[in-house]
A and B are shown apart, each in its own frame.
Chain A
Amino acid sequence: MAAYPLLVNGTTHTVEATPDTPLLWVLRDTLNLTGTKYGCGRGLCGSCTVHLNGTPVRSCMLPVAAAAGAAITTIEGLAPDGLNALQHAWCEHDVPQCGYCQAGQIMTAAAFLRDHPAPTEAEIDAALAGNLCRCGTYVRIRAAVKDAAAAMQKEAAR
């Protein structure tokens, strides 16, 4: 066991963990940030997606030792004061069925839209290809990302 400083959603925590512990389980079991989900443990489904210095990563595969010192954002910290454009669009389109994958979908989409403010449908498809939705809400995810992009552009133009 060793102590690691973790900067999560703007707050620094010092956590005790074995160095190989995936960041996912530190977030969930130690920091009680359960919005980040376990789906496969092998980087195959994307449910555990968080941002590491702004880049989407699979927290189920990232050892806590490798995350120490970086700025980590989870779904709980994406829009601390309410809903951002993506979360709003997700509600507008009533995207979730079971909802289990949606935090990972939104985290991937958030990083994508930051770098691609006006994406094509094909770009959206490619960006989110690594996030599985078992319930099959893909057509709504596609529409919600498109709408969120438009809303963010409108906001930026003001």
Chain B
Amino acid sequence: MKASPAPVTRRDFIRVSSLAGGGFVLSLALPRAGLAQAAGALDDTARVFTPSPFIKITPEGIITILAKNPETGQGVKTSLPMIVAEELDADFSTIVIEQAGLRDDVGAQFAGGSRSTPDNYLLLRRAGATARAMLIAAAAQTWNVRAGELTTENGRVIHAATGRSLSYGELATTAATLPIPDERDVKLKSESEFRVLGSRVGGVDNPAIVTGRAEFGMDVRLPGMLHAVYAKSPVFGGRLLRANLDHLRTLPGVRDVFPVEGGTEITGLLPGVAIVADSTWAAFAARAQLEAVWDESAAAGQDSPAYAARAAALARTRGTELRHDGDVDAAFTASAKVIEADYFYPFLNHATLEPQGCTAWTRDGGIEFWTTSQTPGPGRDLVAATFNLPKEKLKLNLIRAGGGFGRRLRNDSMVEAAAIALRVNAPVKLTWTREDDMRHCFFRPAGFHHLKGAVDAAGRLSAWHDHFVTFGYNSTATPAPSAGMSPDELPARFIPNYRLEQSLIATIVPTGPLRAPGSNGLAFVMQGFIDELAHAAGRDPVEFRLELLGEDRLVPPTGGRGVPYHTGRMKGVIRKAAAESGWGSALPRGEGRGIAFHFSHQGYVAMVAHVAVSPAGELTVKHVTAVADVGPIINLSGAENQMQGSVIDGLGMAWLQEITFAAGRTVQSNFHDYPLLRLPEAPAISVHFIQSDNPPTGLGEPGYPVVPPAICNAIFAACGKRIRSLPIAKNDLRWG
């Protein structure tokens, strides 16, 4: 076999042409030898300007910015360095972006809660501004002029009075000798001076992605690396009783097969069988021949029909009261119109297109990881605790992930890779099969809502009762992860009579956060039932919602815990979504528009969906208008991409997706029974931002919850069919 040439990695690309304006061409790909020289220079600390971990400037003029957080497709490898580059006043297209590993000097490194932007905005601006101030000071010293006479532009310090200028590279060695000023003394740009922030910048890895050279978690290769799979009990957490391990050891390419005892903590190392082989396929093929008997004693009663029956039974009882404002029962008696409805949303799998996996290498008394974790710090802690290893002996490289959506907030694949690597005397890459990934997840929990609502004689929402039946993990006392509901959930705080009751079904299903956890199911229920009440009152659904929100004001969280709700910002996005979508204009028979709004992750989002339903019940989503107020936008292209993706993701979820359980195990296994939306089903999407002066927040999550209710409300407008149970595909939409 001939050796293939070494693939070029992202680090080999220096992008030199214009990135701004959406144009970016791979103009120069340096061979490794070319960068080695530059890398050598980076290590020469006396010459190189490194005012913080985020910035390195060499005398040769190479500016490197550290991308601190895990990149899972949310765009932070591009957007966070843009914040640094803005205050540094450097040409972003010439900057080398370096992905950080897990380290202790750059603040928290995680991808979750849409927190990357709000948590790092000021930190990174100050890092850039500090470096710029020092480069100005270096120039002032060089020219013996006052710093106040100097300006910067595109990586140069300029003395306009004499027409002189020096590049940041030319100033690097002098700047490296200067004291680092207190960041509080460093002046930040005003937003009107921004050149980078708010512009459209393509993803820094795009040239590598479109040529197949970007390195994802599954692409990691190390010398002498082996390949592994890890088979667990199909009934969650079951212990291994016996298996045909001796047979598997005889199969082609198999190096080692061994059981792992594991523990009982569902987010930790679970019992399983590790198969280590020369290739991924050899490991997969051996896994297909695994015959294992697991302890399945926990499976009894753990299936989806039983959950539904239990929820229906609980609905006839009183749940634990989590909130009661006013007198709901009296309001129902006094109200003009009272309606009741049962809503349901199913369990979901994140279904990242790159399945879970991790590469690990045990050596020098520690383990080095190449991980796609969204929470590498807690991942390291989990490995340290599980194997009683000192944290300092665990090194984590953060590798681009083929999607996160919250799945990689859990570090199960990392701790499994560690268990295998500790036994194998070589680097080993653990790869989950798609089937493993579909069946073993921290699923978005299903929820049942038994609702009763009323409108008064004036057509206003006057009373609301929700008996929320959700899940506890092996418990009927505490909601499972991401299965709870805030007693502040809309319309609480906005109407005089509101009651929330909760009942729990005990489950062995692992649950956890999925994109906009909680909100991603609740918005469907609340915005759907509000729509029902608007129609019951004979009111326009937009006007009904604006009235519910009331005067422009900041509504505080109950008891001071949580986040205040700015009604003016929400009404702003609702009004804009209505205006941009042509709300109220006539549509042909069988077509309709639906509106929904939701506040989550500090983001205010409203959407109008325009759908058509044929008399035969075929759904076409024609257009979605999405409006968000998340403060100023960092990267306009990335921000629009996140909103477009949220619409597609939310539509696919609402229309098609459901995870069910039978006898304690996941029924679905791959994309044939857990479909994703396809290109022909994708609607046209218009995205608008209201760029208010509020602090910027993230966009990975807040759009997603709004899509299902906007679609379902549009379906009602189109054909009179009210969707109260997801996915939509299970509903009969025939009409006429």
Contacts and interface: CB of A to CB of B under 8 A. Distances in A.
**Which one of B72, B211, B672, B678 has the greatest number of beta carbons of chain A within 10 Å?**
B211
A45 interface: yes
**Which one of B200, B206, B281, B355 has the greatest number of beta carbons of chain A within 10 Å?**
B281
B433 interface: yes
B647 interface: yes
A119 interface: no
Interface string A104-123: 00100000000000000010
B407 to A, nearest CB: 11
B402 A99 contact: yes
Nearest to A3: B1
A55 B728 CA distance: 36
Given A41-B284, A94-B637, A96-B206, A75 B402 contact: no
B216 to A, nearest CB: 6
B152 to A, nearest CB: 27
Contacts of B641: 94, 97, 137, 140
B623 to A, nearest CB: 11
Contacts of A31: 4
Interface in B385-443: 400-405, 431, 433-434
Given A74-B212, A91-B206, A128-B679, A98 B7 contact: no
B430 to A, nearest CB: 13
Interface string A77-106: 011001100111011111111111111001
B538 interface: no
**Which one of B207, B212, B284 has the greatest number of beta carbons of chain A within 10 Å?**
B212
B351 to A, nearest CB: 6
Interface of A: 1, 11-18, 20-22, 25, 28-42, 44-45, 47, 74-76, 78-79, 82-83, 86-88, 90-103, 106, 122, 124-126, 128-142
Contact of B401 (A39, A78, A98, A101): A98
Nearest to B27: A82
Contacts of B221: 32, 34
16 contacts: A13-B2, A16-B1, A18-B285, A21-B281, A33-B4, A37-B216, A38-B280, A40-B434, A78-B211, A83-B25, A94-B201, A97-B403, A98-B352, A99-B209, A125-B679, A136-B652
B376 interface: no
A96 B403 CA distance: 11
Given A38-B218, A98-B353, A137 B644 contact: yes
A97 B219 contact: no
B646 A136 contact: yes
B498 to A, nearest CB: 35
B40 interface: no
A16 B644 CA distance: 44
A89 B213 CA distance: 17
A21 B252 CA distance: 11
Contacts of B81: none
B679 A131 contact: yes
B179 interface: no
A95 B88 CA distance: 28
A29 B73 contact: no
Given A40-B434, A76-B211, A76-B212, A142 B26 contact: no
Interface stretch (B114-122, B335-343, B680-688): B680-688
Given A29-B279, A102-B210, A88 B25 contact: yes
A28 B280 CA distance: 9
A41 B433 contact: yes
Contacts of B218: 34, 37-38
B678 A94 contact: no
A1 B279 CA distance: 13
Nearest to B405: A134
A39 B434 contact: yes
B258 interface: no
B281 A29 contact: yes
Given A40-B670, A45-B353, A96-B206, 7 more contacts: A11-B2, A38-B431, A41-B433, A94-B200, A99-B214, A136-B677, A137-B641
A96 B280 contact: no
**Which one of B209, B670, B680 has the greatest number of beta carbons of chain A within 10 Å?**
B209
Contact of A36 (B212, B284, B645, B679): B212
Contacts of A32: 4, 6-7, 221
Nearest to B219: A34
**Which one of B638, B682, B684 has the greatest number of beta carbons of chain A within 10 Å?**
B682
**Which one of B215, B221, B353, B431 has the greatest number of beta carbons of chain A within 10 Å?**
B353
B401 A45 contact: no
B170 interface: no
Given A41-B434, A90-B206, A99-B205, A35 B212 contact: yes
B22 A139 contact: no
A100 B679 contact: no
Nearest to B220: A34
B227 A101 contact: no
Contacts of B216: 34, 37, 99-100
Given A76-B211, A96-B206, A132 B678 contact: yes
Contacts of B404: 98
B203 to A, nearest CB: 6
Nearest to B209: A99
B401 A40 contact: no
B260 interface: no
B682 A94 contact: no
Q: When A and B form their complex, which 3 residue pairs have the shortest distance between CB atoms, in order from nearest? A: A35-B212, A136-B648, A98-B73
A113 to B, nearest CB: 15
Contacts of A82: 26
A1 B647 CA distance: 47
A23 to B, nearest CB: 10
Contacts of A76: 7, 211-213
B6 to A, nearest CB: 8
B649 A136 contact: yes
A76 B25 CA distance: 17
A96 B680 contact: no
A16 B637 CA distance: 45
**Which one of B352, B637, B671, B685 has the greatest number of beta carbons of chain A within 10 Å?**
B671
Interface string B505-520: 0000000000000000
A107 to B, nearest CB: 9
B647 A136 contact: yes
A45 B210 contact: no
Given A40-B671, A134-B676, A103 B212 contact: yes
A90 B352 CA distance: 21
B22 A100 contact: no
Nearest to A34: B219
B583 interface: no
A129 to B, nearest CB: 5
B649 A135 contact: yes
Nearest to B29: A82
Given A101-B353, A134-B352, A129 B206 contact: no
A83 B212 CA distance: 11
A76 B252 CA distance: 29
Interface in B212-258: 212-216, 218-219, 221, 227, 252-253
A38 B355 contact: yes
B73 A94 contact: no
B680 to A, nearest CB: 4
B202 interface: yes
B1 A30 contact: yes
B374 to A, nearest CB: 12
**Which one of A13, A31, A92 has the greatest number of beta carbons of chain B within 10 Å?**
A92
A86 to B, nearest CB: 8
B294 interface: no
Given A16-B1, A25-B281, A40-B670, A35 B206 contact: no
